[in-house]
Amino acid sequence: MKWQRSLRSLLVVSLIFFVPLAASADTVAVAGSMGDCMADMAAAFSSSGRGEAPQFVAGASGKLAAQIKAGAPFGLFLSASAQWTKHLDEEGLLEEVAPMATSPLALWWPKAEAPSVDRLPSGELKIAIADPETAPFGKAAKDYLQSLGVYDAFLAEGKVVIGGVIQTAAIIPAQGGADVGIVSLSVALKMEGGSYTLLPIKPLGNSGGLVKGKATDNLRAFWSFIRSAEAAPIWKKWGFEPAAR
């Protein structure tokens, strides 16, 4: 099945790509929800002749922000929400901070028919979400379930399963550990199977900025490129809506 092939891909990404790697200042710290999109961006950037494809370290935005505060040699930070970008900016660690895109949340499961959002409050579905403490999509999922008045009870009853990065919110139901996962649209599209329904909540605003004293000229050019009109089709391919220029 297509989603099973996608699951193998996500498992590889989770085990290899979404861990701290040996990095240089020409490395981008990127939220997991944007990993595949940024791989396409890097290829397009390199093909344009404007610079070389940078390296990427991907994971939960909060954990990446903590690594930057600890001195990790990342030159560019791309966050799934403005929360962590603002935090680092207030710490005086970023420059040229700007919005990039918005990203909807989706309810995904490994079945052919689209999952019904209306079933979430009933308690009949076990729900997987990313870690609300470090992953913006996990926090958004928690906030949504709280708005339905069910989060605390479901968590206590084991009907909410908390993973790590956003990919785990799809991996868990794909492996049978939950019925559905609340994920970014980009992850739902990555699955290439199963089905999803967009959640009726405001999309997350993705933002980023250059890390002061560590961004190379190549990363400055890449940061400009991914916010250009030329990059808009790549954002849209992966379920993002580019920020207004």
Entry pTM: 0.86
What rounded mean pLDDT belongs to the chain?
Answer: 91
Is 61 annotated as a binding-site member? yes
Is 195 annotated as a binding-site member? no
The H-or-E segment that residue 209 falls in is strand 204-211
Q: Domain containing 61: what range?
A: 2-103+204-242
Q: DSSP letter at 25?
A: T
Q: CA 230 to CA 180: how far, in whole Å?
A: 35
**pLDDT at 36 > cutoff 50:** yes
Per-residue confidence (pLDDT) for residue 17, from 0 to 100: 41
Residue reference for tokens 């329904």: 197
Are 150 and 40 in a shared domain? no
Q: Tokens in use for 167?
A: 């990919």
Task: Report yes or no: 206 and 135 within 8 Å, Cβ to Cβ.
Answer: no
Per-residue confidence (pLDDT) for residue 15, from 0 to 100: 36
Please report, for the domain that includes residue 84, its CATH number. 3.40.190.10
**Collapsed DSSP state (helix, strand, coil) of residue 199:** coil
Per-residue confidence (pLDDT) for residue 88, from 0 to 100: 98
- Per-residue pLDDT, averaged over 218-231, amounts to 98
Is 33 annotated as a binding-site member? yes
Q: CA 216 to CA 12: how far, in whole Å?
A: 29
Q: CA 81 to CA 136: how far, in whole Å?
A: 6
Q: Tokens in use for 77?
A: 């930070």
Number of domains in the chain: 2
Are 159 and 231 in a shared domain? no
Are 231 and 121 in a shared domain? no
Per-residue confidence (pLDDT) for residue 20, from 0 to 100: 45
State percent of the chain over pLDDT 90: 87
Are 136 and 218 in a shared domain? no
- Cβ neighbors of 156 (< 8 A, separation 6 or more) are none
Q: In this predicted model, what pLDDT tens digit does every residue of 162-203 receive, in sequence order?
A: 999 999 999 999 999 999 999 999 999 998 779 999 999 999
| The Cα angle at residue 190 between residues 7 and 67, in degrees rounded to 5 | 85
- Per-residue pLDDT, averaged over 73-87, amounts to 96
Per-residue confidence (pLDDT) for residue 244, from 0 to 100: 83
pLDDT band at 24 (very low <50, low <70, confident <90, very high): low
